[in-house]
């Protein structure tokens, strides 16, 4: 099943069921007005939404309209939680090697994770507002899950059963604000402005065989200024599966339905597949030549993040954003 | 105006207007079912809520019932944002001195702040569930504000106008998980389990002269196991006002209505007023004697956090919690 949230000039938008091929969509106000409402009441809502999805794919949803990703908000325009892991250790290893540091052994069995701001996500095709180019704007292509209610102390096996939806992420980052913030010891804050998510969120079954061991075994396609910048496989090098990442959150607190938990920047050891963020290329340049050459994003730059199935069809629609100056 | 959220077996509870003396309360479904709904639509809701509040205080609200803090949820049982500053530098100075470190000069003009989990807050009189006493459970008494919508880039003067409500906080912390998390560089995560807030949130005018310069100039009263543990004045030693803390968030992103921004642990230089967390006493012990003596909270321990006006009446009601074992 595929779900999206359409702009209707309310804070949470209008829940839409989207056809598998992303061509058609239908509002379902008789089931749930918003995606959060559906997640709050998933046991009742999910079978009803599935019925609509089946009819829509068979061309039998009378009130369906053309699906337009440009009219979408984030599937959850605002959420109660956005917690982002850093599960691809190749990314961490590059950052560390670039500054001559080792990766601590603990990083291989204890996930890195930060708490993100979740009150105002960017729509998937909306501009990225930037107040100051000197802040070093970067994209980060990721995969994330949306959970149901997860009890305090749930282990990874239990958490696997609480994964409701998958979606793609642009974890927008202000790289040049990071060193100062990390030196303060409290982690990221201003360096993580509003995040963007893909137009469509999908239930895990939509991925078929590509959803295995709590990971998505497909390339994440990142284009920067119209050219392919990275296509690493999201199932390769992911040290912690999504159920493990959710369990990391649940170790000391419960999660409520609609919590979003991210993978961190997708990154493969194989350099030929490129990168899902500019910082990683800069780290490779530092390791190889002693200095970073790739600049961060400038006003007018574009980024596109998408994932395709074995038949080449877009699964989640594309995050497609342009950097704009915000005064 | 005073507002609370009563348990009604929905996720967001029932918005109630509470009388100034905290004796009576009345539901206002014709204005807003929940506090988040009122905040989403504040310009329309606020004057209507004020009318109810005036009538309630005059004994003219026919459907009013006795107010019972024990039936309250957090004013926002789940919120879209919980960002907590560390504005009382005496607290930071003690932590640093205890480990022989200086406070960096930047800490006096650039706020410390971390992003907290906001999907599931503890009710004000609910137990604090603890899976493992070895994690070092501590309370942290704080004050916080709830904002309206704040535009990206708003300065402190602008942010002052977006402060809607004030409330008290128990920023529950697992002290023994902090060193490991800070060493990883991503800030607090598992060390910050679910937070609790006071039963009642109040508009700033309720504080009268005690609300000045964006700070609350009243003692925060913290009792631990039935005895006074701290009573520092929240208006003393607060390096950054609430408008400055909100502006810190807004520097790189907008805030949506219902965002909660906290002060950090209230702490005065005057040691005779005690502390609002156990860790601070432990730091003083380390500085004075070389070793911490005060243990962290154990199962069965209680904490009470309250603030009283000049006449000795409780402003927000009390956070009153007991630690319970969670298996």
Look over chain A and give the mean of its residue pLDDT values, rounded to a whole number: 97
Give me the helices (H) in chain A, please. Answer: 35-40, 42-57, 89-98, 156-160, 178-184, 242-250, 278-289
Cα nearest neighbour of B12 on chain A: A40
Give the span between the Cα atoms of B103 and A245, in whole angstroms: 34
In this prediction, residue A99 carries a pLDDT of 80
Q: What is the mean pLDDT of residues B112-120?
A: 97
Model pLDDT for residues B135-153, shown as the tens digit of each residue: 999 999 999 999 999 999 9
Residues A239 and A88 sit within 8 Å (Cβ to Cβ): yes
Strand partners, B115: B83
Predicted TM-score (pTM) above 0.90? yes
> Is there a contact between B114 and A186 if contact means CB atoms under 8 Å apart?
yes
DSSP per residue, A50-74: HHHHHHHHTT--TT-EE--GGGEE-
Which residues in chain A have their CB less than 8 angstroms from residue B135's CB? 252
Q: Rounded to 10 degrees, what is the CA torsion of B92, B93, B96, B97?
A: -150
Cβ contact A296:A271 at 8 Å:
no
Residues of B in contact with A110 (CB under 8 A): 180, 184
Quote the pLDDT of residue B183. Answer: 87
Extract the runs of DSSP E, i.e. beta strands, from B62-162.
65-66, 72-73, 82-85, 113-116, 128-130, 137-138, 141-147
Q: Which among A11, A83, A183 has the least Cβ separation from residue B40?
A: A11
Asked if the Cβ–Cβ distance from A251 to B86 is below 8 Å, we say no
pLDDT given for residue A98 in this prediction: 81
Residue B95 has pLDDT above 90, yes or no: no
**β-strand pairing of B319-325 with B128-130:** parallel
Judging contacts by C-beta atoms under 8 Å, the chain A residues touching residue B112 are 184-186
Cα A147 from Cα A132, distance rounded (Å) = 35
String of DSSP letters for B240-290: S-HHHHHHHHHTTS-B-TT-EEE--S---S-GGGB-SSHHHHHHHHHHHHS
pLDDT at B129 over 90: yes
Residues 6+ apart with CB under 8 A from B189: A83, A113, A114, A115, A248, A249, B181
Question: Using CA atoms, how far apart are residues B6 and B125, in angstroms rounded to an integer?
Answer: 12
Q: Each residue of B258-294: pLDDT tens digit?
A: 999 999 999 999 999 999 999 999 999 999 999 999 9
Question: What string of DSSP letters covers B39-87?
Answer: HHTHHHHHHHHHHHHHHHHTT--TT-EE--GGGEE-SSSS-S-EEEE--
The alpha carbon dihedral of B189, A94, A146, A247 has a sign of negative
Closest to A248 measured CA to CA, from A225, A264, A230: A264
Helix (H, G, I), strand (E, B) or coil at A160: helix
- Residue B102 is classified by DSSP as P
What pLDDT is stored for residue A185 in this prediction? 86
Provide the CA B278 distance to its chain's centre, in angstroms: 17
- B291-311: pLDDT as tens digits: 999 999 999 999 999 999 999
Instruction: Say if the Cβ atoms of B253 and A114 lie within 8 Å.
Output: no
A148 contacts on B by Cβ (under 8 Å):
none
pLDDT at B99 over 90: no
| Dihedrals phi, psi of A217, to nearest 5 degrees | -95, 65
Question: How far apart are the C-alpha atoms of B163 and B150, rounded to whole Å?
Answer: 9
Backbone angles phi, psi at A129, to 5 degrees: -75, 135
User: What distances in angstroms separate CA A33 from CA A5, A15, B12, one per listed residue?
Assistant: 10, 6, 17
Tell me the residue length of chain B.
327
Please provide residue A166's backbone torsions phi and psi, each rounded to the nearest 5 degrees. -120, 150
pLDDT at A71: 97
Q: CA nearest B165: which of B327, B326, B33, B4?
A: B4
CA distance A82 to A297: 24
Contact A68, A61 (CB under 8 A): no
In angstroms, the separation between the Cα of residue B295 and the nearest Cα of chain A is 20
| Bridge partners (DSSP) listed for residue B85 | B113
* C-alpha–C-alpha distance, residues B287 and A152, integer Å: 36
* Contact across the interface for A80 and B119, Cβ inside 8 Å: yes
The nearest CA of chain A is from the CA of B5 a distance in Å of 18
Q: How many CB pairs under 8 A join A and B?
A: 148
CA distance B75 to B79: 9
Tokens 């001559």 correspond to what residue?
A: A100
Name the stretches of chain A with pLDDT < 70: none
Query: Rounded to the nearest 10 degrees, how much is the dihedral formed by the CA atoms of A183, A189, A190, A194?
Result: 150
Q: How far apart are CA B194 and CA B324, in angstroms?
A: 14
| pLDDT at residue A96 in the model | 84
Other CB atoms within 10 A of residue B161 CB: 10
**CA-CA distances (angstroms) from residue A271 to A224, A231, A233, A241, A285?**
17, 10, 12, 22, 12
State whether A129 and B117 contact (CB < 8 Å).
no
B117 pLDDT above the threshold of 90: yes
Query: What span, in angstroms and rounded, lies between the C-alpha atoms of B144 and B140?
Result: 12
- Residues of B whose CB is below 8 A from A133: none
Residues A265-278 pLDDT 10s: 999 999 999 999 99
Q: Which residues pair with A3 in a beta bridge?
A: A17, A201
Q: Which residues of B touch A180 (CB under 8 A)?
A: 106, 110
pLDDT of residue A101: 83
Instruction: Judge if ipTM > 0.85.
Output: yes
Q: Per-residue confidence at B69, pLDDT binned at 50, 70, 90?
A: very high
Within 10 Å of residue A65's Cβ, how many Cβ atoms?
Answer: 13
User: Is residue B236's pLDDT more than 90?
Assistant: yes
Q: What is the pLDDT of residues A20-67, one digit of tens each?
A: 999 999 999 999 999 999 999 999 999 999 999 999 999 998 899 999
pLDDT tens, position by position, B2-58: 999 999 999 999 999 999 999 999 999 999 999 999 999 999 999 999 999 999 999
pLDDT of residue A128: 98
Q: A278-289 and A89-98 helices cross at what angle (nearest 10)?
A: 40
Q: What domains can you pick out in chain A, each with its CATH number?
A: 2-67 (no CATH), 78-325 (3.90.850.10)
- Rounded to whole angstroms, the Cα distance separating A152 from B59 reads 43
List the single residue in A with minimal CA-CA distance to B108. A184
Residues B25/B3, Cβ–Cβ less than 8 Å: no
- State the average pLDDT for chain B: 97
Pick from B78, B70, B251: nearest CA to B159: B251
């Amino acid at each position: 099943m595929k779900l999206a949230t359409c702009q209707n000039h309310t804070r949470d938008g209008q829940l839409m069921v989207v056809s598998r091929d992303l061509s058609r969509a239908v509002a379902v106000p008789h089931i749930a007005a918003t995606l959060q409402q559906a997640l709050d009441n998933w046991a009742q809502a999910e079978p009803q939404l599935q019925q609509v999805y089946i009819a829509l794919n068979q061309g039998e949803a009378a009130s369906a309209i053309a699906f337009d990703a440009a009219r979408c908000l984030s599937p959850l325009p605002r959420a109660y939680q956005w917690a982002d892991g850093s599960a691809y250790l190749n990314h961490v290893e590059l950052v560390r090697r670039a500054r001559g540091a080792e990766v601590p052994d603990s990083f291989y069995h204890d996930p890195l994770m930060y708490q993100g701001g979740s009150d105002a996500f960017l729509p998937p095709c909306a501009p990225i507002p930037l107040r100051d180019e000197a802040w070093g704007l970067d994209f980060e292509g990721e995969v994330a899950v949306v959970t149901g209610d997860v009890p305090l102390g749930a282990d990874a096996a239990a958490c696997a059963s609480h994964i409701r939806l998958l979606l793609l992420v642009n974890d927008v980052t202000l790289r040049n604000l990071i060193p100062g913030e990390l030196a303060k010891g409290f982690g990221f804050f201003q360096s993580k402005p509003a995040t963007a998510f893909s137009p469509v969120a999908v239930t895990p079954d939509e991925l078929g065989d590509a959803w295995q061991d709590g990971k998505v075994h497909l390339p994440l396609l990142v284009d920067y200024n119209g050219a392919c910048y990275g296509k690493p496989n999201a199932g390769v090098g992911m040290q912690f599966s999504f159920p493990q990442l959710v369990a990391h959150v649940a170790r000391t607190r419960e999660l409520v339905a609609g919590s979003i938990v991210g993978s961190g920047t997708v990154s493969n050891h194989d350099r030929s597949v490129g990168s899902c963020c500019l910082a990683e290329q800069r780290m490779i340049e530092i390791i190889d030549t002693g200095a970073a050459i790739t600049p961060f994003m400038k006003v007018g730059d574009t980024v596109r993040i998408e994932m395709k199935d074995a038949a080449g069809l877009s699964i989640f629609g594309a995050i497609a954003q342009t950097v704009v100056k915000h005064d």
